[in-house]
Amino acid sequence: MAHAHKHFGADKVVKAETAHAHADMNVTPLIDVLLVLLVIFMATLPLGQRGVDINLPAETKTAQQQQEVDVSQIMIEVTADKRISVNKRDIAIADLEKELRSIYETRKDKQIFLAGAETVPYGNIIAVIDAAKGAGVEKVGIVTAAMRRAAGVQGN
């Protein structure tokens, strides 16, 4: 009887082949460089942000303090029929810049508040802002209809 031989090796003999050139690109170094660049851009991004400085009104003022501040403030109102008034005194748009220049030439604080009726076209408001900037006003505060309603002031 023929005895079966136990074989503990490989079932098939494989011979080595000669190495061939591969046309595939190794992307590992490319990914490393991209990750480093991503980290650098993320670290420098907050330095390039710019914003606009705004002055928010403090809500803790008493009525007496507000009354004292209001004396020195200049308020321009543009009514629905396009009349312009500076601190309740009517003035023509042509004379507005000259009037504001005379008011602000001696003042250190060059800010103004502008309130317009909701029906006034934007072009008229821009003309008033241009006149104020031409007169040397540095800050123009816009008083909205909602702000006037909250303060209990009736708008025109």
Tens digits of pLDDT across the chain (156 residues): 566 667 677 777 778 888 888 788 888 889 999 999 999 988 887 766 666 666 666 655 554 544 444 457 888 888 888 888 888 888 888 888 888 888 888 878 888 888 888 888 888 888 888 888 888 888 888 888 777 778 776 544
Task: Give domain status of residue 21, yes or no.
Answer: no
Give me 35's structure tokens: 């990750």
CATH number at residue 77: 3.30.420.270
**Predicted pLDDT of residue 150:** 80
Q: The pTM is what?
A: 0.50
**Predicted pLDDT of residue 34:** 94
Please state the domain count of the chain.
1
**Predicted pLDDT of residue 37:** 95
Task: Give domain status of residue 87, yes or no.
Answer: yes
According to DSSP, residue 37 is labeled H
Q: Kind of pairing, strands 75-78 and 84-86?
A: antiparallel
Provide the residue range defining the domain that includes 141.
65-151
Task: Give domain status of residue 51, yes or no.
Answer: no
Task: Give domain status of residue 107, yes or no.
Answer: yes
Task: Give domain status of residue 95, yes or no.
Answer: yes
**Predicted pLDDT of residue 17:** 83
Task: Give domain status of residue 14, yes or no.
Answer: no
**Predicted pLDDT of residue 102:** 86
**Predicted pLDDT of residue 53:** 64
Cβ pair 136, 102 in contact under 8 A? no
d(CA 18, CA 12): 19
**Predicted pLDDT of residue 39:** 93
Give me 51's structure tokens: 């914003």
Task: Give domain status of residue 44, yes or no.
Answer: no
Task: Give domain status of residue 145, yes or no.
Answer: yes
Handedness of CA 100, 81, 147, 67 (dihedral sign): positive
